[in-house]
Amino acid sequence: MSPANSGVPLLLFFLTLSLHTILCTAVPKKVSNFFPGDISPPTEMYWYSRLPNTPPPKALRDLLQPGRYPSVTREIANDDKYVGVDQRRYTILYKSIQQKNALPNSTLFYLYNDLHPGKKMKLQFANSGTKVTFLPRQVAESIPFSSDQLSEILEYFSLQVNSKEAQVIIDEVGSCESPNMEGEEKYCATSLESLIDFNVERLGQNVEVLSTDPGEKQEYTVSEKAKMTGDHKATACHKMRYPYAVYYCHVIEDTEVYMVPLVGADGTKVEAVTVCHLNTSAWSPEHMAFQVLKIKPGPAFCHFLASDTLIWVPTKDQDMMTP
């Protein structure tokens, strides 16, 4: 072998070693061990085994692409895109509204009587800001998920205790463990299977699962009468900021769920889900909605849902109504 060629095997060895090092350090710790040969990624098969007559909404289908490798990430501290839920005060927090790139005078909440054709609203359908997918149930249940196991969680994902990502995990896990409000039932689903099971056990198999179409931030006009779906009970499941897909679900009563047809200033058509809370007389005066609307507890008000939030509504004896 000539001196010029003798170095080729050695060069290939170091290139392979460098690539291996990059791949191993670019993803959270233990990712390579997530998928033993007998564990398959979540698919729509389990969905249709429990909900044979209910098609999954787009927001969920995006997490279940055939052959798509389940993803995890440590980039969960992007406040610019986050829309979350403050469970302790039962307040929807549209945190992106507080950012410099927010749409001025955006509609966070609106009164029930304002849901009619011709109504104009400045909206931005933000979301959790994460693109992570579901892990297989067996894998998800093997990963620590409680405030008592915080150090284990941070070690699992190679996060520093004083990092922004660690604070996000502390907040999100804390929300799952916060005390329920009176009459509230909540659950944090760490897998597709547990998400389905929670909702089927509470609402049955005759359900419709809805999500809002993604849309650009701009002024929208309600183009037609909104259609009510379900009865006065629903479950809202909000995607959380977490290294893999986790949904915060809470059963809400005394509500009406509507699909609202909207047309943007640029002509874009969007079907948006809005939830109207009918009886707020027992709510805290500190609730964000009352501050935004400048009203006292009592009147019904509504708000749109983030594009990756899932709303589950019973369809048995369902009547399609308009406000």
Task: Answer whether residue 214 shows pLDDT above 90.
Answer: no
Q: What is the pLDDT of residues 237-296, one digit of tens each?
A: 999 989 999 999 999 888 999 999 999 999 999 999 999 999 888 888 888 889 889 999
Task: Answer whether residue 97 shows pLDDT above 60.
Answer: no
Tally the domains of the chain.
1
Distance CA 29, CA 134 (A): 17
Comparing CA positions, the residue from 142, 134, 138 lying closest to residue 69 is: 134
Query: Looking at the domain assignment, is residue 12 inside a domain?
Result: no
Q: List the alpha helices (DSSP H) in the chain.
A: 3-6, 8-25, 44-50, 58-61, 137-140, 150-156, 164-177, 192-203, 288-293
Beta-bridge partners for 54:
none
- Give the mean model confidence (pLDDT) for residues 182-206: 91
Task: Answer whether residue 56 shows pLDDT above 60.
Answer: yes
| pLDDT score recorded for residue 131 | 76
- Give the mean model confidence (pLDDT) for residues 298-318: 86
Query: Looking at the domain assignment, is residue 266 inside a domain?
Result: yes
Percent of the chain with pLDDT over 70: 71
Q: Count other C-beta atoms under 10 Å from residue 246's C-beta.
A: 26
| pLDDT score recorded for residue 281 | 87
| pTM (two decimals) | 0.78
Nearest 5°: phi and psi at 2?
-75, 155
Query: Looking at the domain assignment, is residue 321 inside a domain?
Result: no
Task: Answer whether residue 320 shows pLDDT above 60.
Answer: no
Query: Looking at the domain assignment, is residue 27 inside a domain?
Result: no
Query: Looking at the domain assignment, is residue 6 inside a domain?
Result: no
Query: Looking at the domain assignment, is residue 111 inside a domain?
Result: yes
Q: What is the pLDDT of residues 163-181, one digit of tens each?
A: 988 999 999 999 999 887 7
Q: What is the pLDDT of residues 116-145, one digit of tens each?
A: 999 999 998 777 667 788 888 988 999 999
Residue 104's pLDDT band (cuts 50, 70, 90): low
Mean of the per-residue pLDDT values for the chain?
77
* Least confident window among 20-34, 36-50, 202-216, 302-316: 20-34
Residue 318's pLDDT band (cuts 50, 70, 90): very low
- Range of 185's domain? 43-314
* Least confident window among 9-13, 56-60, 299-303: 9-13
Comparing CA positions, the residue from 207, 195, 205, 214 lying closest to residue 58 is: 214
Query: Looking at the domain assignment, is residue 151 inside a domain?
Result: yes
| pLDDT score recorded for residue 29 | 39
| pLDDT score recorded for residue 39 | 55
